[in-house]
Structure 1
Amino acid sequence: MADSRHQLAFLDGLRGYASLWVLVGHAMFMTGYKIEIIAQPDMAVELFIIISGFLMTYHYQAREVREPWMEPDTWKIFWIRRFFRIAPLYYVCLALALYFGPELWQSRLDAATVLSGGVEEQARYASRYLDQSLTNILLHVSFLFGMTWTHNFQTPLPDWSIGLEMQYYAIFPFLMILALKLGRIAGMALLVGVMAVVGAWLDRNGFVIGAYSILAMKFHLFAAGMLIAMTLRADGKWKWLLVVGAVAVIFVPLGGGRSALHRAIKIAIVLGFVALLYKDRLPALLKWPTEVLDRFLSNAPARFIGDVSYGVYLLHLIVMLPVCGWLAIQFPETAPIPRFFASLALTVPITYGVAYLCYRFIEQPGISLGRKIASRYQKATPPKGIPSENPA
């Protein structure tokens, strides 16, 4: 299995530019200036989901010898690492968002005064900013909010996807055991099928409200990333069957973005991901542009925005809402285009600066603490007799 860090360096850029896409998309929403695809940041979140499915599977496979999939200690190690990667910064941002919710709500109302829908259209979002109830706090602190249709969109943060991720992490070790027992293709086909049936039932019966934060609605995108990672453990026709599977799951009709254009973009993301992963094996016609793209996604700026991508994703609305509200009140006659660029000029440096500080002083210490706690469950020597993965 190829496990060179350089081989995956492009993921820094993918994460970084996806978070920037979310920021820019929300700026378009808040200023009234729109470019069709860029103004839909949910597509960037779907890229995050595919990356997450890939990375979880990639690292789980890479650590299989010293962290066997069937061992409960392996599951504990995985959950501890993921909790301390996600929770520290999330809890800080959650506290800020809940405490300053009323002020952020006023900023959103101010920003809406220059939008075509006006202030009246914003009324349906009020509880997202004003709900400081103990129920809302406990559901978010426990990460259970994503499994509800009442509180999954109930803070000023774009955290519905965080709840979704935590559901995925909760069952991920068992997904890998199923792949071990049934084989990659059979196991993933069963999982995608079951999740699609559950998601369709939830959707049909009115349990999907506010955001697509219930795992069944987006599991097929996690599965696309998982299938791409599994190609690294497969040979010959099995490798390409897994690639075909990663494309096929995009056609599951759940979780938004179901138009032909959205589906084509997601297929392009999957195929581009595979091309970057196997760039050295591409024919000459495709190899050069793929290598150029890889360098663009792997350079120093890309590494920086990749490092701070989680902070940018969580923090940007806390910064952007006051900025857009202030611009709307101070310059009500300004056209959408200059207002959009002014919002970026103010939001981007503040958000990235604060995100960098959070990365240095919250995220990195949290990751280190998680590794330290997880190390208590790690065996000193690799166990013997580890069962090998079933063939696809």
Structure 2
Amino acid sequence: MAPEYFSAFPRPSMIIFKLPIFLAGMLIYKSVSENRKHYVIIAMLAPLFSWFIGYFISRGLVVIEMFLIIGLAVLLINHGENSITIRFANFGKKFLSSRLSRFLGEVSYSVYLLHLIIVIPTIGILVQHSWFVDLPSALRFLLVTAVVLPVTYALSILLFKYVEQKGIAIGKKLIKTINVKTNEIA
């Protein structure tokens, strides 16, 4: 959807390149906690600073980060009970608390671990067929998604239920045992 944006992160782990955005977050916090809007304006200078130090390749990335800063500030600033922002935030909270969202959150780590193991061979098999290669890219994406999604989630549910949950239960027992032994010694 935004290849220019994502291809602009050749060194994403270098903290110095992320420092301006960290500073922007600190300034937004200060703006919200002290109810001083001018800190948001100062925070908006962070993407410009990133551009000047050569981190950003395009002006579009600067604009995207400015919108992220403004959006975060708008969401965090105090609003009246019936404001559009509060209703939007409550809708988000309700959606994220739904059964579907909780389920997706529970199996997300398993999905993360499995998806490439399923995606790469699937694409590898499909690109051997000219009918697939000749499809428009959006259709190829949808086809791979339709094949990979059910398989990934079916396996992720099993992995979550029979490995992750069992491992968590064993971990809790071990911690409980260690705590009991530590309390007996003390």
Range of TM-score over shorter length:
0.5 to 0.7
Structure-1 separation of matches of 2:158 and 2:54? 34
Q: Which has the larger radius of gyration?
A: 2
Structure-1 separation of matches of 2:60 and 2:94? 27
1:260–1:309 CA distance, 2 compared to 1 (3 A) = farther
Within 5 Å, give how 1:254-293 maps onto structure 2. 258-278=57-77, 280-281=79-80, 284=83, 286-293=85-92
Q: TM-score, normalised by structure 1?
A: 0.34
Hey, what does 1:348 align to over in structure 2? 149
1:297 Cα shift?
4.4
1:362–1:246 CA distance, 2 compared to 1 (3 A) = farther
Hey, what does 1:301 align to over in structure 2? 100
Hey, what does 1:151 align to over in structure 2? none
Q: What amino acid does structure 2 have at the position aligned with 1:341?
A: L
1:289–1:339 CA distance, 2 compared to 1 (3 A) = same
Within 5 Å, give how 1:60-209 maps onto structure 2. none
Structure-2 separation of matches of 1:241 and 1:363? 47
Hey, what does 1:386 align to over in structure 2? none
1:311–1:224 CA distance, 2 compared to 1 (3 A) = farther
1:362–1:316 CA distance, 2 compared to 1 (3 A) = same
C-alpha contact 1:279 1:290 (8 A) present in aligned 2? no
Within 5 Å, give how 1:242-261 maps onto structure 2. 242-251=39-48, 252-253=50-51, 258-261=57-60
1:347 Cα shift?
1.9
Output the aligned Cα RMSD: 4.3
Hey, what does 1:42 align to over in structure 2? 6
Of Structure 1 and Structure 2, which has the larger fraction of its residues in helix? Answer: 2
Whether 1:320 and 2:119 are equivalent positions in the alignment is: yes
1:272–1:260 CA distance, 2 compared to 1 (3 A) = same
Structure-2 separation of matches of 1:247 and 1:364? 46
C-alpha contact 1:218 1:255 (8 A) present in aligned 2? no
C-alpha contact 2:107 2:157 (8 A) present in aligned 1? yes
Q: What amino acid does structure 2 have at the position aligned with 1:42?
A: F
Secondary structure of the structure 1 residue equivalent to 2:44: helix
Hey, what does 2:184 align to over in structure 1? none
1:227 Cα shift?
4.9
Q: Which has the higher contact order (CA 8 A, sep 6+)?
A: 1
Q: 2:17 aligns with which of 182, 201, 217?
A: 217
Aligned length: 170
1:256–1:343 CA distance, 2 compared to 1 (3 A) = farther
Unaligned runs of 5+ in 1: 1-35, 47-209, 377-392
Structure-2 separation of matches of 1:269 and 1:220? 13
Overall identity of the aligned pairs, in %: 25
C-alpha contact 1:275 1:290 (8 A) present in aligned 2? no
1:342 Cα shift?
0.8
Structure-1 separation of matches of 2:58 and 2:114? 30
Secondary structure of the structure 2 residue equivalent to 1:329: coil
1:324 Cα shift?
1.1
Structure-2 separation of matches of 1:285 and 1:272? 13
Unaligned runs of 5+ in 2: 180-186
Structure-1 separation of matches of 2:41 and 2:165? 36
Structure-2 separation of matches of 1:224 and 1:250? 9
Hey, what does 1:339 align to over in structure 2? 140
Structure-1 separation of matches of 2:26 and 2:39? 9
Residue by residue over 1:309-342, the C-alpha shift from the partner in whole angstroms, topping out at 9 and shown as x without a partner, is 4444454322211111111113445413322111
1:41–1:295 CA distance, 2 compared to 1 (3 A) = farther
Structure-2 separation of matches of 1:255 and 1:298? 41
